[in-house]
Amino acid sequence: MSEEFIFGWHAVEAVLKQEPARLQQVWIQTGRQDKRVQSVTETLDSLGVAWQVVHRKELDKRVSGVHQGVVAQVSESREWTEDDLLQSLAAQGEPPFLLILDGVTDPHNLGACLRTADAVGVQAVIVPKDKSASLSPTVRKVACGAAETVPLVRVTNLARFMRVLRDDGVWLIGTAGEADRTLYQADFKGPVALVMGAEGKGMRRLTREHCDLLIKIPMQGQVDSLNVSVATGVCLYEALRQRLA
């Protein structure tokens, strides 16, 4: 079985809560004796998962990034397929609320999008297998546990899968700077998927053509665009406002 490392307290605690069977071993930086560490180590002991207190240099050897004093070795998570998502949506019996990211290659942006997606109740984040960041330790760290709660579905042909979603009654709303309608003129209350493009280039041509509606975020200042994770947050919270109402 393939293995990977995760780091950061939020990411480790999320696996501990959501998928404890994946945990194989945990390393904690020496010098930490607070309640958080005590709670985690007690849970690890109850599960029979080995853990060890080590010098920071040992953690630095295993991962690159701000590990916050904790690193865990876990079995590789199973990647969701298109069929997994469609079956899950059918079983939930709620109007789909999805996020599609086309060409988001920066792991920090993907992690931030996953975190916001979890906050607003998005059921899954969909990305293409090519030209997209993967579910790396950095993504999991930035997502602060959301990578363990929001399925990331990597599809071979994004345009084709968008057609499948449309045939299932999902309204596809894409963002584009040249759109005539604004975010606040769109209807997010029903089965919907928000489609966001990469920062700078935006959505690819085929992705854009498969959207039912194109919208833009109103910009009042001198800057003409937002970071993709910020723009995603703005749009998702407008969608949540409508869905709660």
- Known binding-site residues for S-adenosyl-L-methionine equal 197, 217, 226
Q: Which long-range contacts (CB under 8 A, 24 or more apart) does 28-33 make?
A: 28/52, 28/53, 28/54, 28/69, 28/70, 29/53, 29/54, 29/55, 29/56, 29/59, 29/67, 29/69, 29/70, 30/54, 30/55, 30/56, 31/69, 32/69
3-class SS of residue 97: strand
Residues annotated within the binding site are 197, 217, 226
Q: How far, rounded to the nearest angstrom, does the alpha carbon of residue 179 sit from its chain's CA centroid?
A: 26
Cα-flanking dihedrals φ and ψ of residue 228, to 5°? -60, -35
